[in-house]
Chains A and B, each alone.
Chain A
Amino acid sequence: MTAPLLEIEDLAVDATGSAGTVRILDGVSIGLGEGETLGVVGESGSGKSTLAAAIPRLLGPGLAISAGRMRLAGEDVMAMTPARLRRMRGAEVATILQDPLHSLTPWLRIGTQVAEPAVVHDRLSWKAAQARALDLLRGVWIPEPERRLRSYPHEMSGGMRQRVAGAVALSCAPRLLIADEPTTALDPTIQLQYLDLLKSLQREHGFALILITHDLGVVARTCQRVGVMYGGRFVETGTTAEVMERPRHPYTRGLIASMPRLRSAGSRSDRLAIIPGQPPVPGQMPPGCRFHPRCAQRFEPCDRDSPPAFDLGGDRRVACWLERESGT
């Protein structure tokens, strides 16, 4: 790992409602270096979007970070003042949301929305900010950028809108870009194009990228490292190559087996393997290992104690009791 940019240790997020408090994220630990790409994979409800919201500390109503530590380039994020946080968001940690139709403000022109961060964070005049916006739009491959500055979001296609979202995010040269399912709402034909754009922008600007997705294929294509989330915590982390070719956690294996393109060569079965059962709901977590009810390899300790993340060296971690047995 290069110089550490983001360090998250034992992060926990709780949701508090009239029905009581429910833990959404539990003991999440991950690190990210400058310029690195990390993929966060999981099914819906695994907590990956909550993690994306927790990093800039902009969780929704009723959600709050209840434990853990977070450091951005050595600075304690949990201790940041509201003013510092606002500067951090947009200027150091930028976010792209899933649905650009709803995440861009319908009554503000594109130019305004792309120029805003430069005016607020870098204190540019509106004129200078618009000029920067023009460059940014060019940088995300938007044709006729001068005309587009005056457009409204609904006048563009989904793919173009998401590229605008990219331009917005890069406005103040952030060090970290969090993309929360950026391609899920796009046409399949455009998805790859968009990922290529992200990678190209990353090469050009040098930001670290956290890519949240439910699609292992996306991770395989774009990320150096990957973290697999289940039930509000990471069950396996490591480099993409390692995790994809030699998955150690039964859930990861199940995920890979259920993706048609990713079955390793020589696999005999033609049928797609699906993991039986449903992901657990926060507040109704199974005792012990969260995955154990759906795990074909569960054994004695699995329904009693939750496994810690076994460190296998080289940033490889697996939270499964099987690791203890194999004596690694």
Chain B
Amino acid sequence: MRNRFGELDLAASAAALLLLLFAVLAVLAPLVAPHDPTASSLSARLLPPIWSEGGQSTYLLGTDQLGRDVLSRLIYGARVSLAVGVAAVLMAGAIGTALGITAGYLGGFADQVIMRVVDAWMAMPSLVFAIFLAAMVGQSAINVVLILGLVYWTRYARLVRGEVLSLRERDFVKLAVVTGASSLRIMVRHILPNVVNTTVVLATLMLGVVIVTEASLSFLGVGVPPPNPAWGLMLADGKQAMMVGKWWLTVLPGACILLTVMSASILGDYMRDRFDPKGKMR
């Protein structure tokens, strides 16, 4: 991955590779994971990772209280976290971009209404808002995606609207207006392609945040429901065990989250440097 000077950006390349690795593992989970993530084994409970005393080679990263293999759960957990994260980011992006373009281009009443909603919704702390929504609907992965989409679309809307305000004055837009194109057509065919860059950069930057929020929701018991092996759920399960020294049930899932989010952040910074060097985003 080359930065805007043509040099190789080591951090971004490493980040991209790591995310790619997680993604591949997630997709190929059934083939790669050594065990069924939900299969419990009474005899193999709370085994430490292989390099610790008492570890076994069949369970490379140990097992949890129900004897489920940690490594397999981590791999399947990647599936959940990445799928939910990407889906949520796409959904928030779609809603936010659509409303942002509408508000920015049409102006007037539509702009006022949309922006006041954006102001109000952005005033609620993301996690609090997400918890509130989660408490109102049943627990499922789909619901989590919807909730995260509802919580985070506002960021896209604000950013896109700002860009559209200046795009609106550009000649090619004015030309389209003069030639009688309908507003909808202009928004879709002329404005939209020009905000895609910014949206993609924001999406990459948001991926990390979304994943952490999902993990928080799952940890509190209102996110992805068990027995799905979500990393956040694994952390919740691990809390009891950690008090008696079973560190791997906490350290490992958290490390996965950390690595994923770090990579997403680094990648997001790279994309921003590459596609938005003038710093339109804060």
Contact = CB atoms under 8 A, between A and B. Distances in A.
* A/B touching: CB–CB < 8 A: yes
Interface string B7-34: 1000000000000000000000000000
Contacts of A18: 5-7
Nearest to B6: A18
A18 B6 CA distance: 9
A18 to B, nearest CB: 4
B270 to A, nearest CB: 16
Those 4 A-B pairs whose CB atoms lie nearest each other, nearest first:
A18-B5, A18-B7, A19-B5, A18-B6
Nearest to B4: A18
Interface string A1-43: 0000000000000000011000000000000000000000000
A315 to B, nearest CB: 45
A17 to B, nearest CB: 8
A18 B5 CA distance: 7
A16 to B, nearest CB: 13
Nearest to B7: A18
4 contacts: A18-B5, A18-B6, A18-B7, A19-B5
A19 to B, nearest CB: 7
Interface residues of B, number: 3
Nearest to B5: A18
A18 B4 CA distance: 10
Nearest to A19: B5
Interface residues of A, number: 2
Nearest to A18: B5
Contacts, number: 4
Nearest to B3: A18
Contacts of A19: 5
Interface string B166-185: 00000000000000000000
A19 B5 CA distance: 8
B232 to A, nearest CB: 41
B223 to A, nearest CB: 44
A19 B4 CA distance: 11
A143 B89 CA distance: 61
Interface in B181-223: none
A45 to B, nearest CB: 22
Contacts of B5: 18-19
A18 B273 CA distance: 15
A19 B3 CA distance: 13
Nearest to A17: B5
Contacts of B7: 18
Interface string B238-269: 00000000000000000000000000000000
A18 B2 CA distance: 13
A263 to B, nearest CB: 41
A186 to B, nearest CB: 30
B5 to A, nearest CB: 4
Interface in A116-172: none
B12 to A, nearest CB: 16
A20 to B, nearest CB: 11
B273 to A, nearest CB: 13
A19 B6 CA distance: 9
B4 to A, nearest CB: 9
A21 to B, nearest CB: 15
Contacts of B6: 18
A63 B6 CA distance: 21
A283 to B, nearest CB: 15
A188 B106 CA distance: 43
B261 to A, nearest CB: 29
A165 B6 CA distance: 42
A59 to B, nearest CB: 21
Interface in A22-78: none
A246 B111 CA distance: 66
A19 B7 CA distance: 10
A18 B3 CA distance: 11
A237 B7 CA distance: 43
A21 B222 CA distance: 58
A218 B5 CA distance: 41
A18 B7 CA distance: 9
A315 B6 CA distance: 48
A158 to B, nearest CB: 28
A292 B5 CA distance: 32
A236 B230 CA distance: 76
A115 to B, nearest CB: 36
B60 to A, nearest CB: 43
Interface in A82-110: none
A212 to B, nearest CB: 30
B272 to A, nearest CB: 18
A178 B33 CA distance: 72
B7 to A, nearest CB: 7
Interface string B136-147: 000000000000
B277 to A, nearest CB: 13
A42 to B, nearest CB: 30
